[in-house]
A and B are shown apart, each in its own frame.
Chain A
């Protein structure tokens, strides 16, 4: 080491000059030769140190300007040369009309541009290394860009300029177009060139050349292309195919922007697609004949529908249009269902004026016209509900699978369902009948779970009904029949249904029905006690079972026909009355025999004894024959005077005894209808393989016009009370309210049960003013509560 030498010399040597002392021009001429070498990729032979020192010296000798300008000139010359030899040679000939050839030419051009770029950037990188000292010391003070940026600017000026620029952009557009038409292109070639444009920036500002020159062109071209494409597709294919094509267009454009364009083009390009493929064509897609929305729904084309949904929610106007179309579709289907139910109704009305409504299908299998008609109307009701349920199911599936459970769409669907269900005035009754049918015999064929499922669905339909009070009336009637005739298959199912209704409408709604269940329970307890009691007291030869109904809970049913009980019954009923009143004082019992049933043990000539299950009234009639000889007759008038049963009811009972499947009585003359001139005798020859015989009352439960009117009146009345109560409740709370507020509040509170008419509310308010619950204020617009 040279350390000792260094230590011994005690003076500081001035730094020697770097490099040989030669002139600036000489250095530059040497350096420029080397720069050209570097630009031509022959750097391996050059010494970095040497060239770095040249540049260093030039900058040191204040010749940075010469160096910078000289380098720029060399770079520019080199680029011009490259452009000349590489790009010019592959300029598209422009003469050929052949699309494939054009595409190939474009590809070649793009590749050439990329090659020039690659060449250029590698040499520029080396140049930057050499000129590092200049970048560090000279450029900032001289306020010029550093070597690399300068190089890019030079590239911009010499390559991205007419005519090159036009050709490059045309080539890129050509490639995109080619791919859109379904041909394969060399994506990497396009990408290479696009990348070049992306990395180039304008001299001032930060806009890339891609953004400035290429993107607007691409967007313009795309717009024209898709505008034409949209119209063409709409003409040539059906809605599902159209949607499919559109979706694949979306996908391919997205992959295009990802793979070889810039992601910044993604959004504007998408907008173009939306604007030209979707927005203007949405209505035509929805309503396309034989392939539009309805067709897809009909065919349960869930995939197509999901696609439709996906595309529609892309544009702001899509969802409202879809909702509107869905609404129309649901309402149209609903109206069809409604029409099919009323349509049959009209025919049945022709057959029988009175029987325009459904009934409980009691006498199934009987060949009587009224019964069939009743069954038929019941069938209509059941079919209606089933159809509605099916429709609901269908749309639910579509909604959950295809529409991604969109809340807006759900609301629309519900609204549509509600509107068509409420269009059918009988819907509350139909639904009640449907539930009745399932609770009555549903469990036979289905498991409890299945019935539960069906009932759950029914509840969803029930939700749409606005006149819930009408439903309540019908449901109560059906429920009471099920309870009294012991028809409901399972108590649990009944209670389950009740619980469901309670959840839907609150306690108030089900209070009375629960009261009915309660009555049933109390009754059976009472009977237990009575049986014990009667064992001790006198022994009657009939077994009595009484159901005590609290009069406000139970609907009044049927005609309240008077009926004269035979001795036997009077005794029994008196004994029960005594027993009951001794336990509960201050109550009144009213017998309602038309709701009861009886089992009569009868011996026939065949030697067999049959147990006949008949209605109480029929039993009363049968008892008349008990003391008669087999050959004796009773005329219609005899029976009537003995029992005092009303004509229509009596005829019905006789019909079921004498003209139905099991003929316990003989009618003279035999025919299907009962007339007041007929006479009857006991049919001792009757025989049947069955021990227990159930004789149902014929067509008794048809709700005819009168009954309907009655139901309606009752509902009207209840509504009046509800409105009164509601108004008073509100006014008691608020003391003072304007008319409009009051009407709104009443409507709001009552909509759970029914939709009150503002006019009716007004009438009720007037009534209340008359009865001095309220008073009108001086401004004539509001009311005060009078305590």
Chain B
């Protein structure tokens, strides 16, 4: 998981910056971000919105929620094409009850 608070890695095209509502910045691999359809359209170069142009998405969530969201995206990325007999851990265990509701709305928003 590549969550960093400071821009240690200089942004190549493969990295996307996500900023939470309370100011946390996350550098995430683009392929992981693209798992969410909403984020995918946001970053779609052909429609060329401001987010795509700057490679930066402002996410209107708390850092804690955003982090869990990103964790889920990478989880989904990892296991989406897993073979049947592979052991897939349960993601539910990792969700803290206090952010569950917020995460739920975020999941709806980001369509993931």
Contact = CB atoms under 8 A, between A and B. Distances in A.
Interface residues of A, number: 31
A47 interface: yes
A13 B101 contact: yes
Given A14-B101, A136-B111, 14 more contacts: A2-B64, A6-B64, A6-B99, A7-B96, A12-B98, A48-B41, A48-B50, A48-B51, A49-B51, A49-B58, A129-B41, A129-B44, A129-B49, A132-B38
Interface in B44-72: 44, 46-53, 57-60, 63-64, 67
Contacts of A126: 47, 49
A584 interface: no
A52 interface: yes
Contact of A15 (B46, B51, B101): B101
Interface of B: 24, 37-38, 41-42, 44, 46-53, 57-60, 63-64, 67, 96-102, 104-105, 109, 111
Contacts of A46: 49-50
Contact of B52 (A7, A48, A53, A132): A48
A12 B42 contact: no
A18 interface: yes
* Residue of B50, B60, B104, B111 contacting most chain A CB atoms (<10 Å): B50
B110 to A, nearest CB: 10
The dominant DSSP class at the B interface is helix
Given A18-B105, A44-B49, A132 B111 contact: yes
A132 B97 contact: no
A712 B96 CA distance: 118
Interface of A: 1-3, 6-7, 9-16, 18-19, 43-49, 52-53, 56, 125-126, 129, 132-133, 136
Contacts, number: 80
A368 B2 CA distance: 120
A47 B48 contact: no
Given A46-B49, A49-B42, A56-B109, A11 B98 contact: yes
B109 A48 contact: no
A46 to B, nearest CB: 6
19 contacts: A3-B64, A10-B98, A12-B97, A12-B98, A14-B101, A16-B102, A18-B105, A18-B109, A44-B49, A46-B49, A48-B41, A48-B42, A48-B50, A49-B51, A49-B59, A126-B49, A129-B47, A132-B38, A133-B109
Contacts of B111: 132-133, 136
Contacts of A53: 60
Contacts of B51: 47-49
Contacts of B102: 13, 15-16
Contact of A18 (B58, B60, B99): B60
B60 A47 contact: no
A473 B24 CA distance: 115
B96 A6 contact: yes
Nearest to B51: A48
A262 B17 CA distance: 46
A56 B105 CA distance: 11
Contacts of A48: 41-42, 47, 49-52
A52 B42 contact: yes
Contacts of A136: 111
A45 B48 CA distance: 9
B38 A45 contact: no
Contacts of A18: 60, 105, 109
Given A2-B63, A14-B101, A18-B60, A132 B41 contact: yes
* Residue of B49, B51, B64, B99 contacting most chain A CB atoms (<10 Å): B49
A10 B99 CA distance: 11
A280 to B, nearest CB: 54
Q: Which 7 A-B pairs have the closest CB atoms?
A: A48-B49, A129-B41, A126-B47, A48-B42, A15-B101, A47-B50, A48-B51
* Residue of B41, B67, B111 contacting most chain A CB atoms (<10 Å): B41
A582 B31 CA distance: 115
A658 B57 CA distance: 129
A125 B45 CA distance: 12
B24 to A, nearest CB: 8
